[in-house]
Structure 1
Amino acid sequence: MLKKIIALFFAFIILLVSFIGCSENETQKDGQPRLGITIYSYNDNFLSFMRRNIESMLTGKASFIMNDSENDQAKQYDQIDAAIQRKVDALAINLVDPMSANMVIDKAKASGIPVIFFNIEPRLEHIMSYDKVWYVGTRSRESGDIQGEMVLNAWKSNPKWDKNGDGKIQYLLLRGLAGHPDTEGRTERIKAVLTNNGIVLEQLDEQTANWDILQAQNIANTWIKKFGDSIEFIFSNNDSMALGALKSIQAQGYNIGNENKFIPIVGVDAIPEVIEEIRKGSILGTVLQSPKDQARAVVDMVLNVASGKDVLDGTDYTLDDVKAVRVPYKAITKENIEEALEAYN
């Protein structure tokens, strides 16, 4: 009796495996491409919205596996290797480390698999090393320009923000990941725009918080105790770090309704939590990079190349000289926050 039960059990397993194999083949017969997608970290606020948009837009159009690389480049390599072994038709990759693109491209190129990088831009020589590689993202310098213009206009409109009356902006700056193109572009350009428009800047401090809200909060805890009322502006490379700074200074009585205890903060991303703070007046402004628009470009392009079509087939996008589709930024202040909310719907 026991032998019969064991035999029936193994027969059931064999039947189940056969059924699963047929289901996969049926998906391929239906013409749906197979995709491998990796996100550098699900904990990133902006990428979490972009990821959900990608998942929603791909549902019913492709068979895909979405991976969280947990900010670990070695783990991302393993995920990409696994996708290649599954013989995916295309890869969509949000890199952990932009300098790792060459190794990722070598892996994909060996199997002839096209790659759409997004949000974290590889180096030019890496993109150009393979004819089946493209990029979706923004121009890092543009967001810094918009931040700079936002600060410039607000500073000129609010002379009381010059607390010591010296005509200079005493500022603090929260940097993203060291070496990241967005970090470098935003940091450089916000300063350049202000300086080129006659604003004298005095840096109190500049620290790397790796896009992270808690790291930024810890840094700002030290800042507020050290510099206090001498802080006239906080520049942040993204919104998560801007929120961390806000939480820190609010704990010390700043930006909670008393106009005499206010430190203007600017960020980048226009995530909903920051939009709410802009509405309340506790954060000055941010720069929208639409997760919906970037997700749409990634999905359209990866579906095209996975199906053997031209990467821009059926779209209105254009490629620049580094094979990139650029999604424009937009300044967001209290006057136009509805535009940011729509982008995150």
Structure 2
Amino acid sequence: MSLKLKTAVLATATAIGLAGAAYAQDMRIAYTGYSTDNTFWIGVATAAGAEAEAQGVEFIDMTASSPDSAAQKDAVDRAIDMGVDGIIIGSVDNRAFDASLDNAAAKGIPVVAVDTGIDHPHISSLVQTDNLAAAGIAGAYIVEQLAGEGSVLILGGSAGHQTGNARRDGVLTTAEAAGHEVIFQICDWQDSCAFETTTNFLQSNPDIKAIFSAWDPGALAAVSAAKALGKLDDLVIVGFDGNPANLVAIEEGEQDATIKQDNTRMGQESVRNLLNIINGADAPAVVPIDGILITEANVADFK
């Protein structure tokens, strides 16, 4: 949408480095995240909404209550039909948007991705954790704890999911390089699958000494399964997200570690980048955000 058709006003975010940016008084941006029932994504949406409010921009959260790629695509299509000025997508299935993004491009509506890359030329910017590097840190921690013994079970996301694949590869590459057998199982980010998979593999494979879940609720499911089998003390369990419940589990000695994602910064940066693009300014193609390893040694710093 051409900014010449709108009356520009100064943004209210001078203190955060966007001094001089001018945004239309009636500017609207749409956001659709992974779901509203996930702690990590609640944090992303809250930060994005607060950033939009600080900029004096209307923020329309169209996120579904549970992960649903069809519902999310529909939300994007509805946002385009509404004529919003820009869209932020935290995708459930990053392969689901080709036609929608073609339509957004035709109508001049910029789109930014958060957390997960979407392979389409109309995506102007991606804000995400450096998942490969962060998972490599998780893998190095697992290797150190195992001291040369045991296999590693990886509980993964969805097939072909960019974020999940990077988290898998970071741990897999590091563990295999240290000589550990790695078993990978797709769980579609489903906690029930994480519980069932952990239960089945711990019963059938006594060599498993570490479990990495690509999402923190899956790590808690693995903890529950291991406890039920009386094997929790024999395992290293590591998650990814830095959710509050997992920090409690680490503090209590049930989960060993997690990788914290800075979901506040992810929400903020995605809005800032989108507004810059709408305003005709540059925005980085990729904003990689470092992950932080949280263990019992430093968990108190993050609670």
TM range (shorter): 0.7 to 0.9
Q: Equivalent of 1:240, from 195, 214, 217?
A: 217
* Unpaired stretches in structure 2, ≥5 consecutive residues: 1-22
Q: Name the CA distance, whole Å, in 1 between partners of 2:103 and 2:300.
A: 43
* Moved >3 Å (runs of 4+): 338-341
Identity %: 25
User: Any idea what the Cα deviations from partners look like across 1:226-247, whole Å, max 9, x if unmatched?
Assistant: 33x5431112212111111111
Contact preservation (8 Å) 2:152, 2:209: yes
2:289 — aligned with what? 327
Matched, 1:173 2:144: no
Q: Name the CA distance, whole Å, in 2 between partners of 1:102 and 1:295.
A: 23
Q: Equivalent of 1:218, from 181, 196, 206?
A: 196
Q: Name the CA distance, whole Å, in 1 between partners of 2:30 and 2:195.
A: 35
1:34 — aligned with what? 28
Which one has a bigger Cα radius of gyration? 1
Contact preservation (8 Å) 2:129, 2:262: no
SS at match of 1:171: strand
Matched, 1:296 2:233: no
User: Any idea what the Cα deviations from partners look like across 1:306-340, whole Å, max 9, x if unmatched?
Assistant: 4x24144xxxxxx3xxx111111121112222444
Offset, 1:177: 1.2
C-alpha RMSD of the superposition:
2.2
Matched, 1:88 2:84: yes
Offset, 1:218: 2.1
TM normalised by structure 2 equals 0.84
TM normalised by structure 1 equals 0.74
Q: Equivalent of 1:63, from 58, 62, 76?
A: 58
Offset, 1:55: 2.2
Q: Name the CA distance, whole Å, in 1 between partners of 2:272 and 2:80.
A: 21
Number of aligned residues? 279
Q: Name the CA distance, whole Å, in 2 between partners of 1:30 and 1:141.
A: 38
C-alpha spacing 1:144/1:71, structure 2 compared with 1 (3 Å): same
Offset, 1:137: 0.9
Q: Name the CA distance, whole Å, in 1 between partners of 2:273 and 2:152.
A: 41
User: Counting helix residues as a fraction of each chain, which structure ranks higher?
Assistant: 1
Q: Name the CA distance, whole Å, in 2 between partners of 1:333 and 1:135.
A: 28
Contact preservation (8 Å) 1:140, 1:181: no
Contact preservation (8 Å) 1:302, 1:311: no
Contact preservation (8 Å) 2:28, 2:86: yes
Q: 1:38-53 alignment to 2 at 5 Å? A: 38-53=32-47
1:97 — aligned with what? 93
User: Any idea what the Cα deviations from partners look like across 1:20-69, whole Å, max 9, x if unmatched?
Assistant: xxxxxxxxx97142111111322333212212222233235221221124
Offset, 1:97: 1.6
1:135 — aligned with what? 126
1:15 — aligned with what? none
